[in-house]
Structure 1
């Protein structure tokens, strides 16, 4: 009989709670304990990163869980060094599980003499010996084409759809999905289709990065409970301004569903003081204590989805099946409560 390899997981320091949660979910599905591979990640006095893997990984199907979030450069180097350590230890296959893919906003040249850093990062990942990438809600879908290896890009929208149907189960007819800019219309439309809601757009015009000069609402939001959907929230300036504009145009409530809660600088303070009733983010980036303490910020788990995706990749079965709300629903049974 052929020897079927069991997936083995190892994690860097960027999001240890998520890695442990994925391992727990895999243990539940498999009916046996799935442990993280024992390893250490250290920094020398000059901040060089050193990795040592204690367990034998020869011939194993390895999955490295590591978001390349803040500090992006350190976490990226951890990922690359861990991949090199596994490759030199004769791992059979190395898959990088990158819930949040840093540098994704640098996916094209916006002006002369600027880099395409997302492509550079993709080259580094491939060169390190990683043979497959599993990520979620890339800032730009075309980044998948930057890699010369398979890339599975999962979506948070099925998870959000499950949560929205639970949270707004009695008032779903009043819900309207809003894209905070024209570029995010496809993402917003996808969620709107899943929950059967109409779609609106906030058209913004920037004078310079980080500042919003003017916002126009396209669509009638009066009397609606608006749900802003986007892939990331960094400083939350645009998000909070969009919420204000929607209220000014007659929306009764504004909620936001964001895949990646970067939450830099004044973001948490802005959100807590904003007109938004709630901001829902995933745990693709480990939340800070200030995020956990915020009354109107809520976190939905991605571990059930990533655990199932890892098991599907390991057994050679479909990952795209996880794009459907109905397929994912059993994994989230009992997790969402109104």
Structure 2
């Protein structure tokens, strides 16, 4: 069956990544113009009428997070009022996904507010990548598709002949992600039991498994301040590993924390392009996720054409 060219627009985040998606579909331009007034208010103009159309809106909720969230809400609100037929959101990195539980008695479950707003706006489906936990999707009534980067990681390991003995889950919450990768590669899984007494700080309690003289691979969804991954790396070397390679989906890198990686014992950090990273370092490599998003868009288009 013929794949029709989709209607796609994108917000003003992760522009390099979104442009690459449009090129693959041979879409020449973004039919959305976003400007800002001097006081930082958004002025959004649509350059095409999408009434009664199925539309894909691409927007990342990375830094500046609250600008990008509000930008997305303005776009969705306008489109819904102008009777777009079906609206699909593609959000490679979904901020607030870490806040899917109460951190204390007096703190909100912040992702619940985001989910409530998106549910109210009644989009057809939300597509994202590697959520922080399984609790994340429980807060949405809107259908949510969480794509996985596991196959990309496996392909990169095989393609580049990366020698690995064991897979490391950096915490108990990451066991499912790490176990899936370990199963793909038929490798042993080792778990680090760590807690966060305060935000952006960790305390390592124990290591479940043997790492001595092993070549380790850590897989995780987010790298933010890089404090956790550095402490875990140092802990592994204290337990006499050979080396460690790290795969991370979402490179937030707050306050240029990638410099900590460059000065660490990590042999190689492989990140995806879910968040734009503009630097070129030998120690940090980028793999693209665009093809798994393209396949998801094509799948939706086929389903639409069959109905």
Query: Fold conserved (TM > 0.5)?
Result: yes
User: Offset at 1:215?
Assistant: 4.8
CA distance in 1, matches of 2:145, 2:8: 17
Alignment deviations for residues 45-76 of structure 1 (CA, whole Å, 9 cap, x no partner): 22111211111212221111111011110001
Q: Is the 8 A contact 1:212 1:238 kept in 2?
A: yes
* Distance change (3 Å), C-alpha of 1:281 and 1:104: same
Paired residue for 1:11? 10
User: Offset at 1:167?
Assistant: 2.1
Structure 2: 5+ residue runs without aligned partners?
none
Q: Which structure exhibits the higher relative contact order, with contacts defined as CA atoms closer than 8 Å and separated by 6 or more residues?
A: 1
Structure 1: 5+ residue runs without aligned partners?
28-32, 318-338
SS in 1 for 2:154: helix
CA distance in 1, matches of 2:181, 2:222: 15
* Distance change (3 Å), C-alpha of 1:153 and 1:92: same
Q: Is the 8 A contact 2:215 2:243 kept in 1?
A: yes
SS in 2 for 1:13: coil
* Distance change (3 Å), C-alpha of 1:262 and 1:41: same
CA distance in 2, matches of 1:155, 1:198: 20
The structure 1 segments of at least 4 consecutive aligned residues displaced by more than 4 Å after TM superposition are none
Which of residues 213, 217, 221 in structure 1 aligns to 2:211?
A: 221
CA distance in 2, matches of 1:71, 1:91: 27
Paired residue for 2:111? 118
User: Offset at 1:194?
Assistant: 1.0
- What root-mean-square deviation, in Å, do the aligned CA atoms of Structure 1 and Structure 2 show? 1.9
Alignment deviations for residues 4-26 of structure 1 (CA, whole Å, 9 cap, x no partner): 9742110111111111112233x
Q: How does the TM-score come out when normalised to structure 1?
A: 0.85
User: Offset at 1:177?
Assistant: 0.6
SS in 2 for 1:293: coil
CA distance in 2, matches of 1:215, 1:296: 29
Paired residue for 2:258? 268
* Distance change (3 Å), C-alpha of 1:136 and 1:55: same
Alignment deviations for residues 215-268 of structure 1 (CA, whole Å, 9 cap, x no partner): 532211122211111110000111011111112212111110011111112511
The more displaced of 242-251 and 148-157 is: 242-251
Q: How does the TM-score come out when normalised to structure 2?
A: 0.93
- Alignment of 1:311 with 2:298, yes or no, is yes
